[in-house]
Structure 1
Amino acid sequence: HGKQVKIEDVPQEQRDIFSLTNEEVQELAKQAVQIEKHYGRPMDIEWAKDGHTGKLFIVQARPETVRSRGQVMERYTLHAQGKVVAEGRAIGHRIGAGAVKVIHDISEMNRIQPGDVLVTDMTDPDWEPIMKKAAAIVTNRGGRTCHAAIIARELGIPAVVGCGD
């Protein structure tokens, strides 16, 4: 108790190592099939792995919402190319555009208007009302499983995470 979240640099070779074994992936897949069979529909299933024991846990299951929106095919054509101002991990397959709003703190949430592009360091659950208004999300920190990426996928909002400063 009382420990703080700490950011640590991890060497690239360690970042490229899978966190799950093939057997663990198979076990999670079996659990997912059982859960979806029980509920009779596609489910969004969250799991966790105990860092000490390595044991896998299903922590949440709710009806899947992203896949159901996948019935519409959208195509984008790039007619011109601008200067690259940030690079990171793309989330989703859509393109977002709007007025860019750099938000440093949750207290600035009133600055975001529907259709704006939210640019911030990182997000947590308190940011969801802002994220729902955004046409796109860009964060300095995070990866494909960070809060911003998960919520962007759930909302169908394009995002780029882990852009650095």
Structure 2
Amino acid sequence: MTDTATRIAAGLEQAFVAHGFAEPNVETLRDGAGVSLRTLYKYTPSRDEMVIAALEHRHLRYLDHVFADLPDDGSPALGAIIDRIANWMTTEAPHGCLFHAAVAAAPQNMRLVELLKRHKGDVAIKAAVVSGLQNREADIAFLFEGLTQSWPLLGGAAARSAHRLAQHL
């Protein structure tokens, strides 16, 4: 991505976080991206492309937030990942997963559905590898989904529950 494309994607991500996917008009998205309408459409020629760019940017930020500089030995890695997901939910997604919100707003959009699957799959695979739990990706995905989906209702209690359940993996 170019610097401009990254800046646009970051701005769009924050606009969708702030306004959801149904509410913001193109002017709101343009303002969030911090560029002219012409530049916005040059890099993201449709609203669907704007959503995809924002989510692709979020995916990379999330992976960096969750997996950067984890402990080398597998055992504490899963607990550290749970803590980092809880931190992300607190600071970046207190109302829930932006990927799920995007699919809920446009359930017929197969690109969004595939992006959601790829995002969740990448997280589960990386977590399984760093925690030494290969072949437990589905269990890890279930654990993390429980954490992120229940976060708006339970907050920190969801993270404590995820820690308890992780001990059984």
Shorter-chain TM-score tier: under 0.3
Bigger Rg over Cα: 1
- Counting strand residues as a fraction of each chain, which structure ranks higher? 1
- Counting helix residues as a fraction of each chain, which structure ranks higher? 2
- Relative to the length of structure 1, the TM-score reads 0.23
Higher relative contact order (CA 8 A, sep 6+): 2
